[in-house]
Amino acid sequence: MKCTCLHELHVQQGALMAPFAGYDMPIQYDSIEQEHKAVRTSCGVFDVSHMGEVFVTGPAATEFVNYIFTNDVAPLADRGILYGMMLHPDGGTVDDLLVYKYDSHRYLLVINASNIDKDVAWIEKCAADFDVKVHNASEEYAELALQGPQAEECMKSVLGIDGSDLGFYTFKELTAADGTVVLVSRTGYTGEDGFEIYAPAQYIVSVWMRLMEAGVQPCGLGCRDTLRFEAGLPLYGDELTDEISPVEAALSMFVKLDKGDFVGRQACVDQKADGVTRKVVGLEVMGQAIPRHGYEVLAADSDTVVGHITTGYRSITLERNLAMALVEAKYAALGTPLRVRVRRKIFDAVVIKKRFYTPNYKK
């Protein structure tokens, strides 16, 4: 089991730890509800050092990134960031990721911890025909996410880092007093304003300790999932997998079919033209039972299984039983009545927009 540089501090703080993506990670410190609400109303900090960082550099970097990535980095300004996916030729998703553009010759790809080995092998394989260098820097970087409406103020007052000049999905580099280069971006995975800070372990440990001394709420992966879920953000492994395309996951806005060829493009073009056979939707489930990953979704008028739940919770912010589900396309229209099997009982459900909570991003 791998550990992040903050592992010892999490254990000292009494966090509930559990394995995630090969790391022993904090799931919660106080309670998922308390941490979730802190991010929605003030701010909280997450150790996300398990995330992977891969640099792509070289004269063909823009061309190469555009070849393996669904979004279009060519027109992106330097210090801009895009969300998108890497696809298999059949349209299934290798991973979803953030691409940070330093300039047209240098990119940082931030990938899911669970996919680091798979992604690096895939990127290196695809890179064979391009004049680029691929460097997996995952072991060199630790990462914190400071999230919530007070994140900017907190980062300024506690860490002395001014984020007010950063627009949403942009980044900058700072040099700390000891010469450490720190990357700060206005990004996150919670549906709130916030920042992500990438730096070597020693710097991240000192930042974490200062945030704790200032009384900032430490947050675990438990509320990271409840927060991203409410904002309708996908989690790789749930809403996106090697078998699920971004078109099926209702994430077509991050797939730029007109930018030129990229791996998986033709499959997405075909899915768009022919229509998908299944789609990720939002569901509201009536009654007290909570829909969970893997539970069956049934038609309203028969016991035909028409899909399954990908993520489900009793929403902490909205206090409703909500889910994202992958269902047959003919059941995907808003307002479609469906049912969900929760153990031995069956509960009524209805298709609703999967962005359950409207994010408060700073534009």
Partner 1 sequence: MSKIYFLPSHEYARIDEQNPDIAYVGITPYAASQLGNVVYVDMPEADDDVVAGEEFGAIESVKAASDLFSPVSGAVIEINEHLLDNPRLINQDPIENWIIKVQMSDSSELEKLLDAEAYDALCKSEKH
Rounded distance, CA 24 to CA 113, Å? 12
Q: How far is the CB of 231 from partner 1 (least distance, A)?
A: 16
Length of the chain: 363
Q: How far is the CB of 343 from partner 1 (least distance, A)?
A: 6
Q: How far is the CB of 228 from partner 1 (least distance, A)?
A: 14
Q: Which is nearer to partner 1, 324 or 342 (CB)?
A: 342
Strand 217-219 and strand 44-47: the pairing is: parallel
Which residue type is seen at 41?
T
316 contacts partner 1 (rule: CB under 8 A)? yes
Cα 81 to Cα 38, 159, 270: the distances in Å are 26, 23, 28
313 contacts partner 1 (rule: CB under 8 A)? yes
Q: How far is the CB of 35 from partner 1 (least distance, A)?
A: 10
Site for partner 1 in 279-298 (CB under 8 A): 288-290, 292
Q: Can you give the C-alpha Rg of the chain in angstroms?
A: 20
Q: Which is nearer to partner 1, 129 or 319 (CB)?
A: 319
Rounded distance, CA 138 to CA 110, Å? 9
Which of these segments, 74-82, 119-127, 308-316, 330-338, binds partner 1 (CB under 8 A)? 308-316
31 contacts partner 1 (rule: CB under 8 A)? yes
Q: Which is nearer to partner 1, 89 or 294 (CB)?
A: 294
Residue whose structure tokens are 């940082």: 108
Q: How far is the CB of 345 from partner 1 (least distance, A)?
A: 8
Which position among 6, 15, 25, 27 is part of the footprint of partner 1 (CB under 8 A)?
27
Rounded distance, CA 37 to CA 317, Å? 7
Continuous segment of H or E residues that includes residue 65: helix 61-68
182 contacts partner 1 (rule: CB under 8 A)? no
Continuous segment of H or E residues that includes residue 136: strand 133-136
157 contacts partner 1 (rule: CB under 8 A)? no
Q: Which is nearer to partner 1, 23 or 69 (CB)?
A: 23
- 253 three-class SS: helix
Q: How far is the CB of 1 from partner 1 (least distance, A)?
A: 10
Phi and psi angles of residue 213, each rounded to the nearest 5 degrees, phi first: -60, -30
343 contacts partner 1 (rule: CB under 8 A)? yes
322 contacts partner 1 (rule: CB under 8 A)? no
With vertex at residue 261, the alpha carbon angle to CA 90 and CA 138, rounded to the nearest 5 degrees, is 75
Binding mask 195-234 for partner 1 (x = CB under 8 A): ---------------------------x--xx--------
Structure tokens at 29: 């410190």
Q: How far is the CB of 284 from partner 1 (least distance, A)?
A: 16
Rounded distance, CA 292 to CA 311, Å? 6
Residue pair 130/67 in contact (Cβ under 8 Å)? The answer is yes
Rounded distance, CA 189 to CA 231, Å? 9
Q: Which is nearer to partner 1, 272 or 345 (CB)?
A: 345
Helices (H), 214-314: 221-230, 265-274
Q: Which is nearer to partner 1, 81 or 285 (CB)?
A: 285
21 contacts partner 1 (rule: CB under 8 A)? no
Rounded distance, CA 24 to CA 2, Å? 6
340 contacts partner 1 (rule: CB under 8 A)? no
309 contacts partner 1 (rule: CB under 8 A)? no
| Interface residue list for partner 1 (CB under 8 A) | 16, 27-28, 31-33, 222, 225-226, 288-290, 292, 313-314, 316, 342-343, 345
